[in-house]
Amino acid sequence: MKAINDSTVHLVGSVPLDKSADDFDMCAREIAHLVAALPDGEPNDRKLWVIYQALHVFYCHPQLDTVRRPAPIDGRHNMIHEYPPRGSPVE
C-alpha cells in the first residue's frame, strides 16, 4: 500500500462481503496500489452500519432517548426490514 498523499484514494462505505478476510483479500488484490488503508468491510451485523450504530450505540446510550423504534418480530429486534413490492400479498 502507498503512503497517504494527494493521490491516495480514501474509501467510504462498506464492502458487501461476508468475512473481513475476504474483504482484505479482494481489496488488496484490486486496489492496494491506490490506498493507504483498507476497511474491514463491515461484516455480519455491521453490514448495515447505520442500523448497527443505531441499535448498538445510540439505543443503549443513557443520555439519548429513542423516539421511535420498530416493533420486535417474534420477540427479536430485526435489523433488516423487508419491504414487499407494491401490490404483493401481505402475510
Tens of pLDDT, residues 20-46: 888 888 888 988 888 888 777 677 766
Q: What is the pTM of this model?
A: 0.43
The H-or-E segment that residue 53 falls in is helix 49-53
**Cα gap 41→34, rounded to integer Å:** 17
What does the pLDDT look like over 58-84, one tens digit per residue?
777 788 777 666 677 787 766 555 555
| Residue 46 in grid coordinates | 455491521
Highest-pLDDT range among 19-23, 52-56, 83-87: 19-23
**Cα gap 77→59, rounded to integer Å:** 12
pLDDT for 86 equals 63
CB 40 within 8 A of CB 18: no
